[in-house]
Amino acid sequence: MKRSLLAVLLLYAALFSNAQQQGTLSLAVNDTGTVISRHIYGHFSEHLGRCIYDGFWVDPGMNVPKKDRIRLDVVEALKKIRIPNLRWPGGCFADEYHWRDGIGLRNNRPKMINTHWGGVTEDNSFGTHEFLELCSLLGTEPYIAGNVGSGTVEEMSKWVEYLNASGETPMTRLRKENGRDRPWKVSFWGVGNESWGCGGNMTPEYYANEYRRYATFARNYPDAPLKKIAAGANSADYNWTEVIMKNIPRHMMWGLSLHHYTIPTGKWNQKGSATAFDEKEYFNTMKNCLFMDELITRHAAIMDKYDPEKRVALVVDEWGIWTDVEPGTNPGFLYQQNSLRDALIAATTLNIFNNHADRVRMANLAQTINVLQSLILTKGSDMLLTPTYYVFDLYQPHMDAKRVPLQIETPGYTNGGQQLPAVNASASINAKGKLCITLVNIDPANDRTIQASLPGLKYKKVSGSVLTGKAFTDVNTFENKKKVAPAPFTGAQLTGQALTVTLPRLSIVQLLLD
């Protein structure tokens, strides 16, 4: 009798434990009016460390495929994930950059000191023409950040004219003298960067007036309407958003930026290692990452007060994890390794952006190569793809697809008396009716099973890919480039209108249903 009772108790305990590991996913398939803009999947390349120089733009003698000095193996890797836009030249560097220093014969271009990043000499060999040639090779839209901090209205106005005007003007003549007859017609323009800090230490009231002045003289030319983006808030500075939305008319700005970095420790002076961290620090990092959802919700609510039609986009044009630099590297170059933890951050953040696609219509991961949360790391003529790169590969089906709103009930991931949702997700349907669901299990110890109902949807098959590893500290190295790489996923079962998915611990899963 005692054995029988014990067996029953163990059975109930097992069933209860199993229930605790399960969650549910409900999809609002009849509410798919919002498009997930492909521009959410944008990137950022600043004149910082080895992002431009020794990243995109290499020594003429380097033995890699090149066009001019643009590194083509890097270009091909980024083309495979269809990057939609690329932000340049900064960042803080943008507000000390004077565009005329970067045109004309390279031997005649003046040198400068990059006072923000490492105090190195900038030879201006990579300038406007080189950047726009890079964008052409990538098949991506340029996003240029103009100099408000140390520049002038005339300087930005003439840069727009140089790039976009087609008539006979001093700037178009100069452009033609430098080898470009046709205008590039660049749409995305940032009016300054971090004007609350490195871009001028302005108050929001002062910046709003400056923006109105600069934006007035940044002209639209034939077939080249500008999408002007105001320098927005630093993380949770909700007052900045309030003042900007109150003082800049809707018709004068296409978007308002937001910058937020995930700092593992939450301390800027000691951020934490990119590779040597324990579960407590991992948990804290994921908590700081998930704060992005609250940030967007609260900034969007302020924007809704002044712009209920949601005409102004929230542009999260700097985001990602920021750790201490790799030991032995220049502290001003911001070079850090990229782990499975970083991939989980990227996937979670992209899920958040997708779910807020009614307001978030553009974003830029910082940064593309060799800086912060990079997609690509290089060492001489060698290169590798980071775990974060593979996240952007897996999430491609969401680009320009219709968002499927969802509700997820997930078990908790607990550490040190605190709890986070173990699973997050986003979903979309493309023009052909194919459903994409991306799910992230941040729990380092437990697989999680999610039950999803698909009412009204008649799919016949499900396929998938998974990105995972043995530990959240796993990284790709030049000796082992595929330690963290996607693999086919077989943990999903489709039965009629019911979908069951078992997510491995520390995993990102992409499901495609058709």
Do 322 and 444 lie in one domain? The reply is no
215 lies in some domain: yes
In a domain, 5, yes or no: no
16 in a structural domain: no
DSSP code of residue 126: S
Are 378 and 456 in a shared domain? no
Determine if residue 147 is left, alpha or beta; phi over 0 gives left, psi from -120 to 50 gives alpha, anything else beta: beta
Per the structure block, which two tokens stand in for 49?
């460390």
Residue 3 lies in a domain: no
Residue 2 has pLDDT above 70, yes or no: no
In the predicted structure, residue 11 carries a pLDDT above the cut 70: no
Residue 29 — very low, low, confident or very high, per pLDDT cuts 50/70/90?
confident
257 beta partners: 315
Q: Last residue of a domain, which of 381, 400, 419?
A: 400
pLDDT in tens, 49-85: 999 999 999 999 999 999 999 999 999 999 999 999 9
Q: What per-residue confidence (pLDDT) applies to 17?
A: 46
CB 410 within 8 A of CB 423: yes
Question: 78 and 205: one domain?
Answer: yes
**Token pair listed for 212:** 């109105």
- Please give the average per-residue pLDDT across 473-486, as a whole number: 98
> What span, in angstroms and rounded, lies between the C-alpha atoms of 193 and 127?
18
Range of the domain at 422: 24-31+404-513
Same domain membership, residue 413 and residue 476: yes
Q: pTM of the entire structure?
A: 0.94
Residue 437's beta-bridge partner residues? 427, 511
Asked whether residue 147 falls in the same domain as residue 182, the answer is: yes
Q: Could you report the per-residue pLDDT of 126-159, keeping only the tens digit for each?
A: 999 999 999 999 999 999 999 999 999 999 999 9
- Looking at the domain assignment, is residue 158 inside a domain? yes
pLDDT tens profile 396-448:
999 999 999 999 999 999 999 999 999 999 999 999 999 999 999 999 999 99
Q: What would you report as the CA-atom Rg of the chain, rounded to the nearest whole angstrom?
A: 24
Indicate which CATH number applies to the domain containing 481: 2.60.40.1180
* pLDDT of 361: 98
**Gap between the Cα atoms of 452 and 496, Å rounded:** 11
pLDDT at res. 14: 40
Computed over every residue of the chain, the mean pLDDT equals 94
The reported pLDDT for the residue numbered 7 is 47
The pLDDT of residue 357? 98
pLDDT (0 to 100) of residue 453: 87
pLDDT at 285 over 90: yes
The catalytic site residues sit at 194, 318
pLDDT digits (tens, 9 = 90+) for 154-193: 999 999 999 999 989 999 999 999 999 999 999 999 999 9
Give me the percent of the chain exceeding a pLDDT of 70: 96
Asked if 73 and 137 touch (Cβ cutoff 8 Å), the reply is no
CA–CA gap between residue 351 and residue 359 (Å, rounded)? 14
Flag whether pLDDT at 278 surpasses 70: yes
Of 368, 400, 432, which closes a domain?
400
The pLDDT value given to residue 432 = 93
Residue 4 in any domain: the answer is: no
The mean per-residue pLDDT over the stretch 483-512 comes to 96
Same domain? 430 vs 303: no
Nearest to 200 by CA among 146, 156, 266, 261: 146
Residue 256 pLDDT > 70: yes
Which one of 400, 424, 449 terminates a domain? 400
Say whether both 368 and 464 belong to one domain: no
CATH, residue 45: 3.20.20.80
One domain for residues 174 and 318: yes
**Are 347 and 473 in a shared domain?**
no
Whether 361 and 314 have beta carbons less than 8 Å apart is answered as yes
Tally of structural domains, the chain: 2
Within this chain, do residues 414 and 374 fall inside the same structural domain, yes or no?
A: no
Distance CA 416, CA 29 (A): 38
Considering the domain architecture, whether residues 296 and 372 belong to the same structural domain is answered as yes
Please check whether residue 207 lies inside any domain of the structure: yes
Q: What pLDDT is stored for residue 228 in this prediction?
A: 98
Sheet holding 435-441, edge to edge: 402-403, 423-429, 435-441, 507-513, 462-468, 487-488
* Residue that the structure tokens 């390349």 belong to: 45
In a domain, 304, yes or no: yes
Co-location of 348 and 328 in the same domain: yes
Using the predicted structure, report yes or no on whether residue 4 has a pLDDT greater than 70: no
> Which pLDDT value is given to residue 12?
42
Those residues with Cβ within 8 angstroms of residue 230's Cβ, 6 or more apart along the chain or in another chain: 191, 192, 211, 244, 248, 253, 255, 256, 257
